[in-house]
Structure 1
């Protein structure tokens, strides 16, 4: 899959180093786990789960994002099945060097378009910590709208967890209306 500036491809078993590098930045992980992901966890859990998803849901999954101009890995975008039928969850994780350049919005819009235009989905959702204002702004720019605030229990909560999690969403009708406008 391609956008104006990005190429999204499936991860391979050889991509462990890319994920380790991405998840080793504490700022990238700030609103996720609050700490780097250990290499062994990426090798034994994270990457195998990504690869397994391709077999279970061939059109969905987590996709490596590379700049078209030089092939540099900048992070990933994901389109995952949700608990509700005909609904997918969109997400992204980008290297700090890619922040503030519009890549998150560009990739997210492309996956939303794929969900509705190619996959026949009825709803796309995304979530983040309520205090993650940059990610919330990406969701809004991508066409997602605030749906709800909710609270989850975490055994080892991150700073800001007390303010809750937010869900953003867009349904097919709203997406179609936006394309006609």
Structure 2
């Protein structure tokens, strides 16, 4: 008999080579409050930093979104030690542009390909779930995010201004997604 409990994973948990993506749940609140309140981690996201109250409200909205749509925001954890790295997900944009891929990771975890790996898993999950078109939006000046989106094969498809910043819109169309691309291992 072992004294180590096996973690029971939620439906729609995804494992990649180095990551575990778990649909956000109440137990992620402290991590999300910290991430969404940190300028370096969340300052470039739509509407910027969040208060703890707003982060808690968004978590409730994210859980409800999962229940309605079968996709949403995942908490990204490093598989080797279960460290919380950030979030990735598919969310409906409030401006009506469509379902958008998003990702935000702690600065200390950047430069290791984690954002790319997590975003690819979310994008593949979305297309496999039947989403024909998935967009992403990045500031023109956010070269790191633009690089991730380009590496994932998203193509530029528009631009707009938001709070004085030039925002670039990218899209991934299911018909253009590589046929050899495999759905990440869902648990």
Q: Deviations over 1:44-78 (max 9, x none)?
A: x2111111112211x21111010000000000111
Partners of 2:109 and 2:100 lie apart in 1 by 22
Quick one: higher RCO (CA 8 Å, sep 6+), 1 or 2? Answer: 2
CA RMSD in angstroms, aligned pairs only: 2.1
1:138 deviates by: 0.9
CA contact (8 A) 1:25 1:36 kept: yes
Aligned residues: 166
Partners of 2:154 and 2:105 lie apart in 1 by 19
1:134 deviates by: 1.1
Q: For residue 103 of structure 1, what is the aligned residue in structure 2? A: 114
Q: For residue 166 of structure 1, what is the aligned residue in structure 2? A: 168
Q: For residue 67 of structure 1, what is the aligned residue in structure 2? A: 78
TM-score of the aligned structures, taking structure 1 as reference length = 0.82
Partners of 1:40 and 1:121 lie apart in 2 by 31
In structure 1, runs of 5+ residues without a counterpart are none
Q: For residue 47 of structure 1, what is the aligned residue in structure 2? A: 59
Q: For residue 19 of structure 1, what is the aligned residue in structure 2? A: 32
CA contact (8 A) 2:71 2:126 kept: no
Q: Deviations over 1:57-116 (max 9, x none)?
A: 1x21111010000000000111124657xx632111111111111011111111222222
In structure 2, runs of 5+ residues without a counterpart are 1-13, 182-187
Partners of 1:9 and 1:121 lie apart in 2 by 20
1:137 paired residue among 134, 147, 151: 147
Partners of 1:165 and 1:42 lie apart in 2 by 24
**Aligned in 2, Cα 1:110/1:52: closer, same or farther, shift over 3 Å?**
same
